[in-house]
Amino acid sequence: MMLFSRVRGLPVLTPGDADRVGEVRGLTVDGAPWRVTHVRIGRGRLRKGAVVAWSALRAAGPDMLVVRSAGGPDEVPPHRELLGSRVLTECGEERGTVLDAAFDPVTARIEAVLTTRGELPPDRLLGLGDHALVVRSGTAHHRV
């Protein structure tokens, strides 16, 4: 189990010469099933950041990430920041903001999302966009 907040800032290395590529700036997530798809790597102020697919990582440890090669994937999905995003139920009620999220480093599946109003299981997440993370309300409220 790894936390988004712990992964942020970890050094990213290449395996052969232990060359430092940069440090983790953020994790891109995708739904259905909810998992971490890409790692965004910052390479200093003057250089453009890099994006590496989570499946291209060779190892993910508590102190560093090791990538197979520094080459990025062909297509980069739009990045939505999960940490700090507003939580909105499908009924349009705000439910705090996202503080952190836990995921399994092997399968990259998100296991729980911690918000200012408590913990959410991944099966309640509906979508993450530029405005909010939309979650299923506790009491289902559907149009018939």
Partner 1 sequence: MNGLTAVRALTTLPVVTLGGDAVAHVKDTVFDTSAGRIASFTLTGRTLLSGPLPRDLPWPAVHCLGRHAVMVRDAGALCELPLSAARRDAARGRLLGAQVLTDDGETVGTVLDVLVEGGTSGRLVAFRLAAHRELVHGSRHRRHRVYVPRGEAVSLTGRTLVIPAHARTYVTDDLPAFVARVGAGHDRGRDVAS
Positions touching partner 1 (CB under 8 A) are 80, 85, 88-94, 126-134, 137, 139, 141, 143
How far apart (Å, rounded) are the C-alpha atoms in residues 102 and 94? 22
Least CB distance to partner 1 at residue 141 (A)? 5
How far apart (Å, rounded) are the C-alpha atoms in residues 3 and 72? 23
Structure tokens at 66: 């090791």
Question: How many CB atoms lie under 10 A from the CB of residue 50?
Answer: 20
Least CB distance to partner 1 at residue 66 (A)? 32
How far apart (Å, rounded) are the C-alpha atoms in residues 87 and 90? 10
Closer residue to partner 1, CB minimum distance, 93 or 123: 93
Closer residue to partner 1, CB minimum distance, 27 or 132: 132
Closer residue to partner 1, CB minimum distance, 75 or 130: 130
Closer residue to partner 1, CB minimum distance, 109 or 141: 141
Least CB distance to partner 1 at residue 143 (A)? 5
Least CB distance to partner 1 at residue 50 (A)? 26
Which residues, including other chains, have CB under 8 Å from residue 49's CB and lie 6 or more apart? 22, 25, 40, 41, 42, 43
